[in-house]
């Protein structure tokens, strides 16, 4: 397989993953970004932990979907992540917005 074919293959997988994300996002309450992964989840707990002089975050997710092209199953019942990097948690707002939103609408 050439480098170009591999890039095309990965681009197709990434597009399929985006479509899956678009289809499932309405099932979840939170978006969680860590240094390594992107998650959708229905429950999120973030705790700051200290071990010696190091501080890290423990992130626990329940009913999660993982953005990862290499996973065969992206739906996970429980996820526990430990990271020294930033963690971003956003609560999703699912609203039926009009197709065209602008100053005149």
The pLDDT value given to residue 101:
40
Asked if residue 83 lies in contact with residue 47, where contact means CB atoms within 8 angstroms, the answer is no
The pLDDT value given to residue 94:
76
The pLDDT value given to residue 48:
95
State mean pLDDT over 71-95.
91
The pLDDT value given to residue 1:
79
The pLDDT value given to residue 95:
63
Asked if residue 49 lies in contact with residue 58, where contact means CB atoms within 8 angstroms, the answer is yes
Q: Could you report the per-residue pLDDT of 22-79, keeping only the tens digit for each?
A: 999 999 999 999 999 999 999 999 999 998 999 999 999 999 999 998 888 899 999 9
Every domain of the chain and the residues it spans: 3-91
Q: CA torsion sign, 16 to 27 to 59 to 74?
A: negative
């Amino acid at each position: 397989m050439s480098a170009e074919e591999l890039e095309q293959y990965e681009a197709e997988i990434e597009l399929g993953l985006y479509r899956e994300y678009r289809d499932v996002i309405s099932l979840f309450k939170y978006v969680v970004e860590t240094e390594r992964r992107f998650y959708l989840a229905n429950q999120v707990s973030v705790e700051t932990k200290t071990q010696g002089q190091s501080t890290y975050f423990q992130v626990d997710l329940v009913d999660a979907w993982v953005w990862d092209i290499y996973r065969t199953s992206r739906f996970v019942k429980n996820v526990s992540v430990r990271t020294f990097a930033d963690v971003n948690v956003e609560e999703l707002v699912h609203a039926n917005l009009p197709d065209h939103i602008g100053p005149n609408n």
